[in-house]
Amino acid sequence: MIHQSNPQPLFDPPIVGRAIVDAFRKLDPRQQARNPVIFVVAVGAMMTSVILIADLLRGITDGLLFNLQITLWLWFTVLFSNFAEAMAEGRGKAQADSLRKTRREMTARLLVGGNGSQKEKRVPAPELRIGDLVVCEAGDQIPGDGEVVEGIASVDESAITGESAPVIRESGGDRSAVTGGTRVLSDRIVIRITAEQGSTFLDRMIALVEGAKRKKTPNEIALTILLSGLTIIFLLAVISLKPFADYAEAESGLTRTAVTIPVLIALLVCLIPTTIGGLLSAIGISGMDRLIQRNVLATSGRAVEAAGDVDVLLLDKTGTITLGNRMATAFHPAAGVDQARLAHAAQLSSLADETPEGRSVVILAKEKYGLRGQELAAPHAHFVPFTAQTRMSGIDFPALNGRPAIAIRKGAADAVRQHVTVLGGRYPNDVDALVNHIAAEGGTPLVVAEDREVLGVIELKDVVKGGMSERFAQLRKMGIRTVMITGDNPLTAAAIAAEAGVDDFMAQATPEDKLRRIRQEQANGHLVAMTGDGTNDAPALAQSDVGVAMNTGTQAAREAGNMIDLDSDPTKLIEIVEIGKQLLMTRGALTTFSIANDVAKYFAIIPALFGGIYAATGTTAGPLSALNIMRLTSPESAILSAIIFNALIIVALIPLALRGIAYRPLGAAAVLRRNLLIYGLGGLVIPFIGIKLIDIVITILGLV
């Protein structure tokens, strides 16, 4: 189960135990090679191990304890890095194990034969193929991903979403998609299988949450290249130190070299960016984990990163900005039209409108005038369903028994105006005034027409969700522009947009308009995010940089998006953007800290290491010892203290890498200043303090 009412503890004992084991498994060179920085550390640890074993075999005891400690702490550095990655993966694996419990072997009731003689046949679920029709009744577990092609039923999806409340799945519309592993609670449905076994939604969920197929994101690849470049530079610098050190020691008359191969390896490990190198993978994995904790599945880490760079949000009005329960509240007849006649026509035109608004019109007419739809639908009537393209619904009565043909339409004001005008009718001014008045008040007007005559206006009301204006203000501080999308007329859209506090809006928007707007924004250099749930949203979801599909939506929408919201909450898009920004901020902050660390360790080690060179006769302190501001005990203690600190700081930063940096809606300049102050300055100061304390401890313990 993905959904967790109580967040998973950061250091859950079973996860920690598994991570410790996995840390050793990751010592496999094939896995280490994926992280160039830590691979260098592993190679260095292997070299010092070989030198240590060779000294033991030759009976050399001078510096044996020192070399042993260096070797152990190098291996600890590698293991701590592996442990950080394994901890991030372990949280996903625990969730995957929970999901696997829902995927057990089951049988399916396969329909075989022609339409006229279909029979049920019990077959194992793994044998189902795309296009197969299966029957599910109350108590049955849905054997695979599919679309409901017949019937309606309540379905328990708690195994997938964690939400205990059942959901309705029905044929036609945008709530036809079902997921394998969920359970039918009532009624009977026929499902067409849309995914092969092994590539179902549940299979993909398991693979995603456990990170089995995780690939590095473009930002990770770029940062890895940068870190590799820095590692090569420091490698060349450390290698060049050996001949210079040997020459200087010879000129100084020193008989014992301080710059041994193990020391150079330790110096290299301390100078290269091991901190961010060891935590980089864990940061990316934990970013996806935080999304999963909020019941959002990202098909790739790239989508999470893109969410952090998004600067334009396209949000539907209904259900996202408003409560979504837009209902018919009043009938406003045109001059000379009886209100009961308007209600009668409005109900007839709404019988084929399966939207919540259409159903509310039918209910309002029934409540106010006792009209029943089933009594009004005359024989031979042709229903015209609502579509996003026409933005109208209606009913056509053919000429019958001397009665002329009648065409009733209900829809957006401009759509009905065009319809009436084409038929040669007149659009009354008083109706136009009603439409403008309702829209200006934040309502939604729907105009009803019978043939060429406009009968009046239906008023729909919706309510802006609480706190939306504050959330949009936060997004504005982050440099994100919000665009509300609605099929309402411009006046209604403007009223809702002003109340909600969005930056821009699209009124009377069709699916083509959405796609066109996304392409326009991208052409201007913006990264765009949007939500959707219907088949008509699929092109826009696929075109957007971050497309969040609702789990309750169609299969086409879920496949087009690069994220799936299991809770089907359109406002989740705002949280997704925040998590994406948190991921980028965490990676940037720890990179800053790591590089600052390296600078501090450089000034801590080098002066202590070469402090005895060119010392005056009878003294042990040379000119470079003046730079030993930390007053470290000896070159050996300086190296050992630095290598210990280098290993322990990775462990200390694991919680920050997993949790992420606390997000605040600040501008880029403010974030940069905060980053440099906390993690830049902190990265410089903390190593000096830490290395000095470790130096004191190991000196007291006599380890050097």
| Catalytic residue annotation | 316
For 243-303, the DSSP string reads HHHHHHHHHTT-SS-S--HHHHHHHHHHHS-HHHHHHHHHHHHHHHHHHHHTTEEES-HHH
Tally of CB atoms within 10 A around 440 = 12
Helix (H, G, I), strand (E, B) or coil at 448: strand
Positive or negative, the CA dihedral 230, 232, 238, 241 is negative
Rounded CA-CA distance 450/563 in Å is 44
Can you tell me whether residue 56 is helix, strand or coil?
Answer: helix
Task: State the DSSP string of 77-104.
Answer: HHHHHHHHHHHHHHHHHHHHHHHHTT--
Nearest CA among 406, 408, 411, 407 for reference residue 392: 411
Consecutive H or E run containing 532: strand 528-532
Q: E strand or H helix at 524, and its extent? A: none
Instruction: Detail the DSSP E strand segments found in 39-140.
Output: 107-112, 119-124, 133-137
* Helix (H) or strand (E) segment spanning residue 188: strand 188-193
CA 623 to CA 634: how far, in whole Å? 15
Query: Other C-beta atoms within 10 Å of 468: how many?
Result: 20
CA dihedral 137, 139, 142, 146 (to 10 degrees): 40
Amino acid at 570: P
